[in-house]
Chain A
Amino acid sequence: MTLIDLANPSKFLALTARVLPWLAGATAILLLVGLYQAAVAPDDYQQGATVKIMFIHVPNAWLSMFVWGVMSIAALGTLVWRHPLADVAAKAAAPIGAAFTFLALVTGSLWGRPMWGTYWEWDARLTSVLILFLMYLGLMALWRAVEDPSRAARAAAVLTLVGAINLPIIKFSVDWWNTLHQPASVMRMGGPSLDNAFLIPLLVMAVGFSLLFMTLHLAAMRNEILRRRVRSLQMMQASQQAA
């Protein structure tokens, strides 16, 4: 199986139809195991049971950035290699990435409430994730603004790549802005490296969430391919003259 094989949407549909159930099953098993391990993991001596939010928060935060990476590769696929499925992959990934980012923000904010006493703190890391979320929403708005998907694809690809270059710069400037205004008033967790009792469930959850992304992404790509087929069928129907 090569990328060339995947370039054919029909072959892609046939292949993913076989792969998806297995992928979904593996996701469910890993997430269940991870959740069980997280539930039986000991409480943190400082944070108590709230530390368990970490098992959801960290995988979501990691995926929020990973998905932008996936979209950047897809954007290169659109602009450089002209791979026919690249823009399908990019379009399908954006809402999923936005959802993971949103969950990272919500869980982070719920975690922050007992730690900082407020739901929101203009902490450098949280702020960067918030900007990432806004960029996801902007990208989704761009996809929605143009009716013809192949025309939207190029604009979205350029924006994705610019975002990929810009995100580290934004991250750096937010760090700088934050330390400029507010010298480390917030105690961050971390410190000594994580104990194995935390690390293993965290890794299981991270792999589980990554598989969840793959499952959702492939399913969303299938939907997008079918949606485009419906669209071209509609255009064919519109152009035929009434008998």
Chain B
Amino acid sequence: MFSGLDFEAASGEVLAVVGPNGSGKTSLLRLIAGLLVSGGGSIGLEGGEAELTLPEQSHYLGHRDALKPALSVAENLSFWRDFLGGATGDVKECLTAVGLGHATYLPAAFLSAGQRRRLSIARLLVVRRPVWLLDEPTSALDTAGQELFVGVMREHLASGGIIVAATHTPLGIEARELRMGGK
């Protein structure tokens, strides 16, 4: 799909992967997340926890929200907290932080697209992981949601995290650019 790609991102830094449709932004993220098998080359995390692989220390926020409409908002989030494990936060606090505090006990089926995205973002907060892999994270969000998300990202960077985001629209945060495609 692509070759000759060399990039790095340091702690507290955002790497914005930009490029036209079909240039392989999503594939690159999935490669880092360990969901695609690499045809050569290597990706690694320096200074992370030695026993864990890179995907195990990463959050992946894809196009799909990984939510079950039959479960309530809180049930969805606490499932991912229990399943992903590690350093975890409080479900209610995280839901309030993304503006879903009022919907805690409602079925996830009643949420709008933007609210579903907010719930996915709450997943990044409830389990602490150093690397965030974000694929078009702001696509469904309204202006208030985008501002909220910028705040969430800043907090993550301040605590030493790394963000790799594939995006078309500006993230609203200073970032190093990785331009893909344009053969």
Contact = CB atoms under 8 A, between A and B. Distances in A.
Note whether A and B contact each other (Cβ less than 8 A).
yes
A234 B99 contact: no
Interface string A223-243: 000000000001101111110
A157 B136 CA distance: 43
A187 B106 CA distance: 58
B112 interface: yes
A238 B99 contact: no
Interface string B93-122: 000100111110011011110010000000
Interface range on chain B (Cβ under 8 Å from partner):
10 to 19
A147 B144 CA distance: 30
Contacts of A239: 110, 112
A178 B69 CA distance: 47
Q: Which of B100, B107, B144 has the most CB of A within 10 A?
A: B107
Q: Which of B100, B109, B112 has the most CB of A within 10 A?
A: B109
B105 to A, nearest CB: 9
A234 B107 contact: yes
A11 B160 CA distance: 61
A235 B111 CA distance: 8
Nearest to B110: A238
B69 A238 contact: no
A238 B72 CA distance: 11
17 contacts: A147-B69, A147-B70, A147-B109, A234-B106, A234-B107, A234-B110, A237-B103, A238-B106, A238-B110, A238-B112, A238-B115, A240-B102, A241-B99, A241-B144, A242-B99, A242-B100, A242-B102
Given A147-B109, A234-B107, A237-B106, 5 more contacts: A234-B106, A237-B102, A238-B102, A238-B103, A242-B102
